[in-house]
Amino acid sequence: MSDNDATPADLGLPEKPRRRGGAVAVIAVVLIAVVAAVLYAVNSGSDDTAAGRTKVRIGVTDASKEYWKTYKELAAEQGIDLETVNFSDYHQANPALSQRQIDLNLFQHVLFLANYDVSNDDTLTPIGSSYVVPLSLYSQKHTDVAAIPQGGTVAVPNDKTNQARALLVLQQAGLIKLKGGGTVLSTPADIDTAASKVTVVPVDAAQTVASLPSVDGAIVNNNFALDADLDPSAALFGDDPNSPDSAPYINVFVTRAEDKDNPVYHKLVELYRDKRVADQVLADSKGTSVSVDRTQAELEGILAGLTETVRGAK
């Protein structure tokens, strides 16, 4: 781990020194005040680390990727000392942002954010877009969708947002039919079984690859597919990242509502689109990521619509 990488455990406050009376107590109080001031500055998201420089902490789930090194170098050239805070659990990064432990995060699509905000009565907001990746159907038994037999089984992620997207992918592939055409919140209960070709088996998203030998196919999140060295070009089917229907799945830079106009954060959004970073992101995704350039106002509009949909389903 480099000097500008951190983990959630690194965000805690140090133990308060014990008072020992007299001059020692005075020194301790002074030290506590200094430490508190420094920590406040770090957690404020725009502290001056040196004359004309700003420190920003960004929460991610893939800090070891090469493009983060390039991105940090570009940020440093603009006077921004960028620190990545890596989260192994997707559900930690938004609370950390809300609690001001980090300043931004980049790991989630807009629908994930809408679900978080509604469930937690929060107002985290997107300020910039990055890319969309497809959600694809893989199989170890068949080489095309038509070969999947009537009554076959397909594994899908069991988490709310990915499961609904997976069901929509299977409907587009002609393997199931959803009542009313389906929505971004569809569940297996919405499947018209009589009109569907296959049976859906929900599993943990991390287990979709492991399920491939025992099912006719599995919808696998892009990150798990790449980690398992699945060839994206061998996928039987996937949704189209260029489609207007992909808007809920745009990966976004997110911050607190009161910080959404922070010029430093917007500079970081701009730097992420630099060709040197974009090329590395594309290469890392094996050519599957599609860069998206949506304005903050457009992203806020997408979030507002999804938030209304999520609230309406509660």
144-164 confidence digits (pLDDT tens): 999 999 999 999 999 888 999
pLDDT for position 40: 39
pLDDT at residue number 90:
85
Task: Please indicate, yes or no, whether residues 149 and 234 belong to a single structural domain of this protein.
Answer: yes
Mark whether 109 and 147 lie in a shared domain. Answer: no
- On whether residue 27 sits in a domain, the answer given is no
pLDDT in tens, 256-265: 999 999 999 9
pLDDT at residue 23 in the model = 45
Same domain, residue pair 202 and 67: no
| Average confidence (pLDDT) over 183-196 | 96
- 182 with 101, same domain? no
Whether residue 213 lies inside any domain: the answer is yes
Whether 5 is in a domain gets the answer no
Domain stops at, among 216, 238, 260: 238
pLDDT band at 122 (very low <50, low <70, confident <90, very high): very high
Lowest mean pLDDT among 1-5, 17-21, 45-49, 301-305: 17-21
**Looking at the 3D structure of the chain, how many domains does it have?**
2
Q: How do residues 277-302 score in pLDDT, each as one tens digit?
A: 999 999 999 999 999 999 999 999 99
User: Are 121 and 140 part of one and the same domain?
Assistant: no
One domain for residues 68 and 104: yes
Regarding whether 154 and 91 lie in a shared domain, the answer is: no
Residue 104 confidence (pLDDT) above 90: yes
Whether residues 109 and 66 share a domain: the answer is: yes
Are 118 and 167 in the same domain?
Answer: no
Domain boundary among 238, 259, 284: 238
The pLDDT assigned to 39 comes to 43
Reported confidence tier of residue 28, pLDDT bands at 50, 70, 90: very low
Greater pLDDT, 226 or 19:
226
| pLDDT tens digits along 198-238 | 999 999 998 999 999 999 999 999 989 998 999 999 999 99
Residue 242: pLDDT band with limits 50, 70, 90: confident
- Residue-number span of the structural domain to which 155 is assigned: 136-238
Tell me, yes or no, whether 264 lies in a domain. Answer: yes
pLDDT exceeds 90 at position 17: no
- pTM equals 0.80
The pLDDT value recorded for residue 293 is 95
Identify the pLDDT of residue 5.
Answer: 65
Same domain, 287 and 222: no
Place of tokens 């509660």: 314
- Which pLDDT score is estimated for 314? 75
Question: Do 232 and 140 belong together in one domain?
Answer: yes
The answer to whether residue 11 scores a pLDDT higher than 60 is: no
Listed residues 190, 215, 238: the one ending a domain? 238
For residues 68 and 149, membership in a common domain is answered with no
CATH number of domain containing 256 = 3.40.190.10
pLDDT cut 90: percent of the chain above it: 77
Give the confidence band of 101 by pLDDT, cuts at 50, 70, 90.
very high
30 within domain boundaries: no
Is residue 58, in this structure, part of any structural domain at all?
A: yes
